[in-house]
């Protein structure tokens, strides 16, 4: 895998600035390529799914969790073939997510199936999302 890339950790919960990623790739210069992800809460787990077709998860993926950050790093190697055109993305892909305090790093699990990497992070009892209605004062 390549050199360690520094990226600002992302929250496990949706970020208001996610819209910056797709429409304005020039603003991401220096960040490398990003993998497309979706995330959601399922029961007592936060699930992160990453589109990573064409990689070998044993050789090309590194997932680390610690110090409040989950980091997913993958690398897709270009096959040397004579081609007239290639629209595939090759190189390194890295995403980082901020983890809630008291996350049990030993309980984080990952699987890979049909080009999708799935990482499951158990929510600490203190971090379970609770929706509370806030009254607006007049």
Q: Model-level pTM? A: 0.66
Q: How far apart are the C-alpha atoms of 27 and 127, rounded to whole Å?
A: 32
Cα diameter, the chain: 69
Q: Greater confidence, 15 or 117?
A: 117
Helices and strands, counts by H and E, the chain = 1, 8
Correct CATH for 10-127 of 1.10.260.40, 3.30.565.10, 2.60.40.2310, 2.60.40.790: 2.60.40.790
Run of H or E including 60: helix 57-60
Helix, strand or coil, per DSSP, at residue 65: strand
Q: What are phi and psi of 135, to 5 degrees?
A: -75, 140
Q: Where are the domains of the chain?
A: 10-127
Predicted confidence (pLDDT) per residue in 47-58, tens digit: 999 999 988 999
């Amino acid at each position: 895998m390549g050199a360690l890339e520094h990226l600002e950790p992302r929250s496990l919960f949706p970020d208001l600035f996610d819209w910056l990623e797709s429409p304005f790739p020039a603003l991401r210069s220096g960040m490398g390529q990003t993998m497309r992800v979706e995330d959601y809460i399922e029961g007592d787990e936060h699930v992160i799914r990453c589109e990573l077709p064409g990689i070998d998860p044993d050789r090309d993926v590194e997932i680390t969790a610690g110090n409040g950050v989950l980091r997913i790093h993958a690398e897709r190697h270009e096959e040397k073939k004579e081609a007239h055109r290639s629209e595939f993305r090759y190189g390194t892909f890295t995403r980082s997510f901020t983890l809630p305090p008291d996350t049990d790093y030993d309980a984080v699990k990952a699987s890979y199936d049909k080009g999708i990497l799935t990482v499951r992070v158990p929510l600490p009892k203190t971090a379970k999302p609770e929706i509370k209605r806030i009254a607006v004062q007049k």
